[in-house]
Structure 1
Amino acid sequence: MTELFLDKFRALVPTYFDEPWVAEDGLSENELAEMRQDQDFPLPLALREFYLAVGAAEDIMEAFHYVWDPDELEIEDGYLLFMEDVDEKFVWGIRADQLSVPDPIVWRRNNARASWKNEEGTFSEFMLDMFEWVFEDDVEAE
């Protein structure tokens, strides 16, 4: 299988935590499959490779917002939900009709209004930009 996003997601560890990436930072194929055994929807390639790269790295999964573990993923309102903010005001998702797209567009729901807004970036772009934004003060300070 082609790995399009794995290296970019693995690079989050040395870039923001000054440690080399190790296999324990990600989930294995078997762990991911076991966690998803009760789910009947596909994962977009970018989201799948995110979990394989850093799905076990708590510092990344809970760096600012909470990226849900694979067994917590759910489809609601026609979106595959994958992340929420600490105050549970917003949740991020991917349109369920786009799950076969390798790197689909991310949408954000305002939970109080139940309205969705296009984040205007693919999953890989959104996640990499988010970590850059979260850690930019730390990187700039060095």
Structure 2
Amino acid sequence: MAKTRSHTTIPHGLGAAGMLEFFFERFDTSTASDSELDFLSGCSEAATLQAFSFASLASDMACGTDQARDSAHPGACEHAGARIDHSTLLFQLAGELKLIGQMMHIASEADWCLRQRLSDRLKVERFRRDQTDEYSSREGA
């Protein structure tokens, strides 16, 4: 009898993390608005929620694996009523971890760009202020 899986395995790079990576590589942070970068920097919050959800899922799967070890079906466990083999679970876990990592990377890059812009604006503002102060002191002399 042929071995069947309840979930298909997504080829490397074609999952949600691969899609995010594809689009972010083509996203020009230098021309993005502050609000666009602010939105992307907020991905860290979404990634945190994703990580907590992932931890709960992994815990549930570990309990299922523990139960399967005691049953007549070694090498498989049940999750949400469906039998899933361990390799499928590990591929799903790896995909989730990669997605969380990609979200954190995007958030970090966007946050860095926003901070760099703020730093550059402050430098320009200080320069203008210094120039105005210098001009005012020459006028008063």
TM-score tier after normalising by the smaller chain length: under 0.3
Higher helix share: 2
Q: State TM-score, norm by structure 1.
A: 0.24
Q: Which has the larger radius of gyration?
A: 2
> Taking CA–CA contacts closer than 8 Å with sequence separation of 6 or more, which of the two structures ends up with the larger relative contact order?
2
